[in-house]
Homo-oligomer: A and B are copies of this chain.
Amino acid sequence: MKHSIEQKCIEKGVKLTEQRKIIAKVMSESEDHPDVDELYKRVSKLDSKISIATVYRTVKLFEESGILTKHEFKGGKARYEELNESHHDHLIDIKSGEIIEFVDEEIEKLQEKVAEKYGYKLVDHKLELYGVKKNS
């Protein structure tokens, strides 16, 4: 069975080149939120000839096609993850850099309500929590 991103490319009519297939595969198999450099490293192991320009072009294309989503957490580089049905936000451990994904329906609803209150329709949002582990 094809991995999920390649599948989505077909559905969305995104042309599949060798390079895109590799990038799609790597992102599909990634459990984390790699930045372009990291993605480039992983991709290079499968095909050392892929250029970083192609990686940049591809993540941008995938993002515009609604296949990947881009995060700009604190500290510079953009990071990507596969976009799927289940929306979630992020809790970031500022010591270790570990990222925990979470969903909170109540917060989601309240956000809609805030937008509503000011006469806006919510089209997107960003919620990031930065924390330190409690000495448990």
Contact = CB atoms under 8 A, between A and B. Distances in A.
Interface of A: 72, 74, 91, 93-94, 100, 102, 104, 106-107, 110-111, 114-115, 117-134, 136
Given A72-B72, A91-B114, A114-B91, A129 B119 contact: no
Contacts of A120: 91, 93, 129, 131-134
A134 B123 CA distance: 11
Contact of A72 (B74, B124, B127, B131): B74
Nearest to A107: B110
Given A74-B72, A124-B130, A126-B126, A118 B102 contact: yes
Contacts of A126: 74, 126-128, 130
Contacts of A94: 123-124
A16 B72 CA distance: 33
Contacts of A107: 107, 110-111, 114
A125 B123 contact: no
